[in-house]
Amino acid sequence: MAPRIGVLALQGDFEVHASVLEELGAEPRVVRVPEDLEGLDGIVIPGGESTTMSMGIEREGLAEPLRQLVEAGTPTLGTCAGLIVLDRDHLGLLDVRAERNAFGRQVRSFESDVELRGLDGGTLRAVFIRAPWVEERGEEVEVLAEVDGHPVAVRQGNVMAVAFHPELTDDRRLHRWLVERAGLGRNGGTPA
Ligand code: GLN
């Protein structure tokens, strides 16, 4: 059965994520209210504007059900603002402190080939748009990629978060990671 993957759709570029997930054989569902989270096998917290997104999460009463879903081990992919929303100062689902707009005014947007540990197939073209980086992290957080010595891709168990926008290139490896893991959960397996 196709895994059902939610895309938080309060603000930001959620539609592109939904179509990538569909292309990979998953069943995407836009998430705007707590009921939309029921029965999900995976979730994407997209890029956008983290303050607006956090306010929307509070307004809609999504914080607690989102925490429950992710803490139950549901595979989760946060991208750009999604990384910020997942951090210690926001939902607290990833033991990191994200630094917003970390690359500074001069380099608000850029592309870079990053080496992502644990991902076969060579470097990944990463699109950074007013991106954060990980400023502090706990021991359980694994750094998968860095730019200029700053972590831009991290993983803590079922939660993967990247500072860039994987939905804006043709490289589907990060979404595939999510869909495969969500599929294991859906079909009764135990994701590694
Ligand atoms: N700069 C945005 C923020 O701080 C994140 C940018 C993005 O998601 N592309 O919320």
Q: How far apart are CA 150 and CA 189, in angstroms?
A: 34
Asked whether 167 and 173 are in contact (CB, 8 A), the reply is: no
127 in helix, strand or coil?
Answer: strand
In this model, does residue 38 exceed pLDDT 90?
yes
pLDDT at 190: 59
SS3 for 76?
Answer: strand
The CB of 2 under 6 Å from ligand 1? The reply is: no
27 in active site: no
130 CB less than 6 Å from ligand 1?
A: yes
Task: State whether residue 99 is helix, strand or coil.
Answer: strand
Provide the CB-side half-sphere exposure for 121 (13 A, CA): 9
| 123-166 tens-digit pLDDT | 999 999 999 999 999 999 999 999 999 999 999 999 999 999 99
| Closest atom of ligand 1 to CA, residue 101 | 1
Are 156 and 142 in contact, with CB atoms under 8 Å apart? Answer: yes
In order of their start, the domains of the chain are: 4-186 (3.40.50.880)
Ligand 1 and 81: CB distance under 6 A: yes
Inter-residue contact 174 to 77 (CB < 8 Å): yes
Residue entry with tokens 């939902």:
91
- DSSP label at 170? S
Here the tokens at position 122 are 């060579």
Catalytic position from the list 17, 80, 90, 175: 80
> According to the model, what pLDDT value does residue 172 have?
97
Distance 84 CA to ligand 1 centre (A): 8
For 86, the token pair is 């997942």
Q: Do residues 17 and 167 make contact, with C-beta atoms less than 8 angstroms apart?
A: yes
Examine the residue annotation and report whether 80 is marked as an active-site residue of this protein. yes
146 Rama sector, left if φ>0, alpha if ψ -120 to 50, beta otherwise: beta
Banded model confidence at residue 186, pLDDT cuts 50, 70, 90: confident
Model confidence pLDDT, tens digit, residues 78-131: 999 999 999 999 999 999 999 999 998 656 789 999 999 988 889 999 999 999
Establish whether residue 166 lines the binding site of ligand 1, counting it when its CB lies within 6 angstroms of any ligand atom.
Answer: no
